[in-house]
């Protein structure tokens, strides 16, 4: 299952469901009702991303990392997780956060500059965005080792892009996880572009092959096939929970938009390539599957769109109504318990701010 570079696919680009000798058994429960729920997830996540991008363009966010085109990789992997599994995200996993029940408004606080975090990681078993590229893989490996020492039957999963695999942190995480048999799943969203550099420049071999070089069993999956992603993620989690150690998943997908809203992909990416990948759109694929099963109609589509629009409206409202933190909040949550040093610094800073009262400063 983990020793070749064949790309696992369970739904073709035209929406036909196909069998796989190793992975079909992991999604036997994904019936028509489940596919309808997955399609709703995909639509809502895309709508969240579009609304957040619009908010950034309107000056309400400092930056945003779009996920357009990568919805299936995120939704599929997230829906394979158990509540007790812990997610270590990069800065693009808005779809994973949605599936972990994070309030979409909270996703924006970090990008608005209103907080250093956004949400309590232990409330959702998911970290907030990690900007240091690749660092989260080490965090996930360490956490997984801790779960192992505690006798937990859970697993950790960490997300990163193809470009991150050129960072030393990823190599170190692979080495530690393999050596200590850590119950961690490395989930690489190979969206073909490390900012402006193609993956072919990042690696002369597949990302999956890089994992195998460290002794980490690896698999490539069609990242635009949400059902295949569920299957391979469940298989990897099964290995972790039974004590068989780490797995690397390379989800082959495509970033349809910019790296972030400060990027212009037209400067380095041919339009013909974008058009090629548009024909592999993850939403269109699942919609075609539902149509072939006679499980989609105008009433259902309208309900899904209404859910997406309501989520987007709440996202915008929450963003615009954000109460920006005051200067004294700088001292909140520095330590879990009160600390005399922080108390003294708080007192000194309050006195400093008070010194400006009655002035034009």
Catalytic residue among 47, 210, 255, 287: 255
Question: Backbone phi, then psi, for 250, in 5-degree steps?
Answer: -105, 105
Catalytic choice (25, 268, 339, 352) = 268
Cβ atoms 74, 45 nearer than 8 A: yes
Query: What does residue 156 show for φ and ψ, rounded to 5 degrees?
Result: -110, 150
What is the β-pairing status of strands 197-198 and 193-194? antiparallel
Is 269 marked active-site?
no
H or E segment and range at residue 207: helix 207-213
Runs of H (alpha helix) within 27-158: 32-57, 71-79, 94-99, 104-112, 121-124, 135-150
State the DSSP string of 267-332: GTS-HHHHHHHHTT-HHHHHHHHHHHTT---HHHHHHHHHHHHHHHHHHHHHHHT--PPPGGGGGT
| C-alpha distance from residue 312 to each of 45, 53, 113 (Å) | 10, 11, 20
| Residue 259 known to be catalytic | yes
Provide DSSP, 128-143: PP--STTHHHHHHHHH
Q: Over 242-253, what HEC string results? A: CCCCCEEEEEEC
Q: Which residues are catalytic?
A: 255, 259, 268
């Amino acid at each position: 299952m983990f020793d070749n570079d064949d790309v696992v696919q369970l739904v073709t680009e035209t929406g036909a469901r196909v069998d796989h000798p190793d992975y079909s058994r992991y999604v036997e429960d994904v019936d028509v009702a489940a596919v309808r729920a997955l399609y709703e997830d995909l639509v809502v996540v895309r709508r969240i991303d579009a609304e957040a991008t619009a908010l950034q363009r309107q000056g309400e966010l400092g930056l945003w990392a779009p996920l357009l085109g990568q919805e299936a990789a995120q939704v599929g992997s997230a829906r394979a997780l158990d509540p007790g599994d812990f997610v270590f995200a990069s800065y693009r996993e808005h779809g994973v956060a949605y599936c972990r029940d994070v309030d979409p408004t909270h996703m924006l606080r970090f990008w608005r500059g209103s907080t250093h975090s956004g949400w309590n990681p232990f409330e959702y078993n998911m970290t907030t965005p990690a900007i240091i590229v690749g660092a989260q893989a080490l965090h996930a490996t360490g956490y997984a080792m801790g779960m192992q020492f505690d006798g937990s039957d859970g697993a950790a999963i960490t997300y990163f892009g193809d470009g991150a695999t050129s960072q030393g942190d990823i190599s170190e995480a692979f080495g530690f996880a393999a050596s200590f048999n850590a119950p961690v799943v490395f989930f690489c969203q190979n969206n073909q572009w490390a900012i402006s550099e193609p993956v072919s420049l990042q690696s002369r071999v597949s990302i999956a092959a890089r994992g195998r070089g460290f002794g980490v069993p690896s698999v490539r999956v069609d990242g635009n096939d949400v059902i295949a992603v569920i299957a391979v993620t469940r298989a990897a989690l099964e290995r972790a929970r039974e004590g068989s150690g780490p797995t690397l998943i390379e989800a082959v997908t495509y970033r349809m938009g910019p790296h972030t809203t400060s990027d212009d992909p037209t400067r380095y990416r041919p339009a013909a390539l974008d058009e090629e990948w548009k024909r592999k759109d993850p939403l269109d694929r699942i919609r075609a599957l539902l149509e072939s099963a006679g499980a989609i109609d105008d009433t259902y589509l309208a309900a899904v769109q209404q859910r997406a629009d309501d989520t987007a409206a709440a996202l915008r409202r929450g963003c615009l109504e954000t109460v920006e933190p005051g200067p004294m909040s700088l001292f909140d949550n520095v330590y879990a318990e009160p600390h005399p040093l922080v108390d003294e610094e708080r007192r000194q800073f309050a006195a400093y701010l008070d010194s400006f009262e009655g002035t034009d400063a």
